[in-house]
Structure 1
Amino acid sequence: MTLPPKYRILLIGGSAGSMAVLVTLLNHFPSPFPIPVVIIMHRLKNVVSELDKLLSVQQVIREPEDKEQLLPGKIYLAPQNYHLLIEEDATISLDYSELVNFSRPAIDLSFTSAAAVFGAHVLGILLSGANNDGAAGLSRIIAAGGTGIVQDPATAEFDVMPQAAIDANPGVQAMSVEEIIHFINNISTENKS
């Protein structure tokens, strides 16, 4: 008998100081990864960005279209200057509403929408950053029974974001980059059994 996977979606949020960590994580991702992955990175709004190409070294990472279906094995990057939301039918919605936490895309909105759709089957990971975006979203994930992980603030280039999430969420787990890699690799193994 095959058990359903514990996680149905992985979201990774980051801002200042998270790029190198994100590249390290992606370089250690099993391929293909058994669930959809959504990356939400703060980026400058008025500068041409090729972040999807920069991150596509070991894995293909792409910016999704509005109403695109989330699929296992795919890694999606929230497009520059759009909030990325998850709809009830597991499709992606791109939204151009006001900034949240001075950001668009906002990590909080993506995390919150995923928690509403996937509940206890969400894994949210928050990396280095210089504001508190993501703390409220991780609260929603944890309240829905999902798992919240932050980069250990002692290892983050900018510790404000992971520390804000720890302060707001007693249930969040602080991990080193190596521990996060190990956790992600275990998901891949569990979902194959």
Structure 2
Amino acid sequence: MKVLEESFSPLAGIDAIVIGASAGGVEALNQLLPALPAGFRPAVLVVVHVRADSPSLLPELFAARCRLPVVEPDDKATITGGTIYLAPPGYHMLVEPDGTISLSVDPPVRFSRPSVDVLFESAALCFGDALLGIVLSGANDDGARGLAAIRNAGGRCWVQDPQTASSTAMPLGAIARGGVHDVLTLDAMAARLRGIGQGSAT
């Protein structure tokens, strides 16, 4: 599969980034999140499919490796730029119109709670064309509908190149749904994200 890199992607106006991952996604996040520079402007909200019956170790893992603060948010937490928010195990994480985070125990979506689709769709309603959505490695098609919603709202949509993903189902599902602007390697994503943090369009 050819890796697409659109040089005209309008990234300077991005206020928030939403990222979805499942199987193999922690490794991908471990390449992307530590690449974000200190002073990075957008908020970053992340859903990783994790077991609900035990505390997640991801906040501590990424806090030790990232230049930005990493938190597992409480319900009604205000979204702040330059902060990485990780969805707590067993809760859907949604973006509310007032710029806060809502945690929900509604039934799983696409067999998952937290659900990538739930985060992406709610963020698209809130941020519109100031949103970037990213789908990484994963073993189901969660995120495909949400990424299409982001595109329909005017946001930008990236997918990890399936040839580089440990599990290809999530990237391929998003591509098949038709909501993707760019299919990128993790190195290319990291470079573009650093450009957003510096206020430039790639």
- TM-score under structure 2 normalisation? 0.90
Cross-structure match for 1:138: 147
2:36 is aligned with 1:17: no
2:195 is aligned with 1:186: yes
Cross-structure match for 1:98: 107
Quote the offset at 1:47 in angstroms. 2.4
Q: Is the 8 A contact 1:68 1:91 kept in 2?
A: yes
SS at match of 2:19: strand
Give 2:76's match in structure 1, choosing from 42, 62, 67: 67
Cross-structure match for 2:127: 118
Counterpart CA distance in 2 for 1:83 and 1:56 is 21
Percent identity, please: 40
Give 1:49's match in structure 2, choosing from 49, 53, 56: 56
Q: Is the 8 A contact 1:27 1:57 kept in 2?
A: no
Quote the offset at 1:32 in angstroms. 2.5
Quote the offset at 1:21 in angstroms. 1.1
Quote the offset at 1:170 in angstroms. 5.2
Counterpart CA distance in 2 for 1:171 and 1:103 is 22
2:64 is aligned with 1:40: no
Counterpart CA distance in 2 for 1:170 and 1:75 is 24
Quote the offset at 1:172 in angstroms. 2.9
Q: Name the amino acid aligned to 1:43.
A: V
Q: Closer, same or farther in 2 for the Cα pair 1:171/1:44, shift >3 Å?
A: closer
4+ residue stretches of structure 1 with deviation over 3 A? none
Task: Give unmatched runs, 5+ long, in structure 1.
Answer: none
Cross-structure match for 1:149: 158
Task: Give unmatched runs, 5+ long, in structure 2.
Answer: 1-11
Q: Is the 8 A contact 1:112 1:140 kept in 2?
A: yes
Per-residue CA deviation, residues 93-129 of structure 1 (Å, 9 max, x unaligned), is 0000000011110000000000001111100111000
SS at match of 2:119: helix
Higher relative contact order (CA 8 A, sep 6+): 2
